[in-house]
Amino acid sequence: MLLVVSAGNEGGTTWRNVTFPSDADNVLAVGAIDKKKKKSIFSSAGAQGKVKPEVVSLGSECAVYNAKGQIELVDGTSFATPILAGWISCLWQALPSLTNREIYRLVVESSSLYNKPDADIGYGIPDMQKAYKSGLRLEHQKKN
């Protein structure tokens, strides 16, 4: 199991930081970005001594169905998280021999700021194609 959790929407408050459970070890915390690939103002950031959120996904102006069955645009890390969780599920389905920690590492290491994470968007935007290609190499190494 790989726990993918919302970083929280405290970015515009005085608290500003990620909230429980996203600040826990061994969970992949997801923050939000907008369509311009900039941190969403509401997205929580930072955690003491940790890179949190680890990664980000689109969380501003996400199209969802409302209670009346109409499409509306909404904001929140609660929307960014399932978008990325869906991609991670596809990645793991394509690479079924890998462990949860290996999938976690592939997602993080494929991200746009992997070599220089920051407190706002962590390791950045995951590149799932890059993660998949790295995962294929990893599976090949494990077989040999």
Please give the model's pTM, rounded to 2 decimal places.
0.93
Confidence at residue 95, expressed as pLDDT on a 0 to 100 scale: 97
Listed as ranges, residues in the chain with pLDDT below 70 are none
Judge whether 91 and 128 are in contact, CB under 8 Å: yes
- E strand or H helix that includes residue 4: strand 4-6
Confidence at residue 116, expressed as pLDDT on a 0 to 100 scale: 97
Domain boundaries, the chain: 4-143
> What's the rounded Cα separation, in Å, for the pair 70 and 31?
26
Question: Which fold, 4-143?
Answer: Rossmann fold (3.40.50)
Confidence at residue 143, expressed as pLDDT on a 0 to 100 scale: 86
Residue 60, C-beta contacts closer than 8 angstroms, at least 6 positions apart: 32, 33, 34, 35, 40, 75
> What one-character-per-residue DSSP string does 9-26 give?
S-TTSSS-B--TTTTSTT
Q: Which two tokens stand for residue 141?
A: 């190494």
Query: Exposed (0-12), middle (13-18) or buried (19+): which is 69, by Cβ within 10 Å?
Result: exposed
Judge whether 67 and 41 are in contact, CB under 8 Å: no
